[in-house]
Structure 1
Amino acid sequence: MEGIFNIIFFVAIGFGIIQIVMIIKFMKQIALSLLFVFLLFSCLPAEKKNEGVKTLEQALTVAGNCPNAKDSLILGFNFGMDSCQTIYMVDSLVKVGKLFRENNRLKYAFNITPFCYKPVMTFTYTNDTLSKVSLVFLNEEKHPVELIKNAVTANIFKPLSNKGYKSYKEKNPFGIDDYYFIKNNTAISLNSYEHFVIMSYSNAIVDMKEKQRKDKEQTLKTQQTLSDL
């Protein structure tokens, strides 16, 4: 009987050690990703990051006043496509294996070091014209959300910079850094939430018009409330 207890004891210890090793491994990955992203954003010359503007808000304002450049987005989509063109392109990408459907969701195999994620791809239209392409990382692999966001940021930073995108970061309401890349009227954002990460390609022109509409609507509501007093 004592031998059995000894076996159980050592098995439990071994399992505990494995769990600790896995936790340490994840912590190292998070730390390395955070360090790499920090170095990327802090070492980049200020004139390259902030050429002509000083803040993210200013950069988005400039982008919102740009002509619709119809730059190529992920997988070749662009902000000049209507819904029919977008659906046709999606079907073509599925046929060649670039996109796939799983559990009634359209997904993309996002292969980055050290993992392969399968984010859900969604499309938003404004007046039947593509205005946003989003990749939703649902954390199906059970990786820490910050690890996902920092790993994605670390891998996309160089190729986007080479394409002429300017980089910015801003703290979200939770005090965590979110990352942005802007070129012409395209604004790419990486935002983390409690259980998922969203990477979006947005048309800054459409975003600005929507913001102005909401601001005007809120102003009218405020004026109405004040007049009711």
Structure 2
Amino acid sequence: MTDHLGSLSELKRGLLSDQIYELMKTMIKDGTLAPGEQLVESQLAKRMQVSQAPVRDALKQLAHEGLVSHVRHLGNFVASYSDEEVAQARFARAELEAIAGRLACGRLTPEARTQLSGLIERMHEAADAKDLGAFREFDFVFHRSVIEAGGNSYLPRWWDIIEPGLRSMHVLGDPAFEGDWHEVADWHKSLLDLLDGDDPDAAAALFRAHAAGTLLPEREAGDAAAGDAAQSR
């Protein structure tokens, strides 16, 4: 009986640390916990009204994923990123999305197209409401949905690895962007139009350009995509 009770105790601790991990991950992703902010186990445990053990477990998992940095003798901090790391994240995302755009081109199911079109409409609604948080969520869902539509089971797993970093670095849906968010939503319509076509090279080029953060107007982005596609042939 004692062994079973011990196992149950560990299970409860594991479930609790998972919940704390998810909560802290969300707080890092939405900026509640800012890059460089120190994460003190005792303070977090008191704030969440739990013991320090599951908080410690959650911090270890977040550190493993690169969202938390442990500095010897100083403690844990929300990861901050150098310009080089941001550039590397942008490059990784661009190449991943280029692959996804190529694979999804001409393969969208009616259900997938309806979902993507609906997400663009919701982006416009969020832009009207000046709700950047909602806009960013619809933006992330749009891109992950395209990755899923490509049919390669490994790509969504890779996206899940880099998404937290993309969020905390603001590589996607940068809050500092001062342009027209309706225009950003319209760029997604251009991406969707290419997925409906039969030119995987053009789809890959435009997805790569969009993900690279060039934020070109629709006509220029299309021209750039066509040029890139021509060079790749």
Flag whether TM exceeds 0.5 (same fold): no
**Larger strand percent:** 1
TM-score normalised by structure 1 residue count: 0.31
Q: Comparing both structures, which one devotes a greater share of its residues to helix?
A: 2
Bigger Rg, which one? 1
- TM-score, with structure 2 as normaliser: 0.30
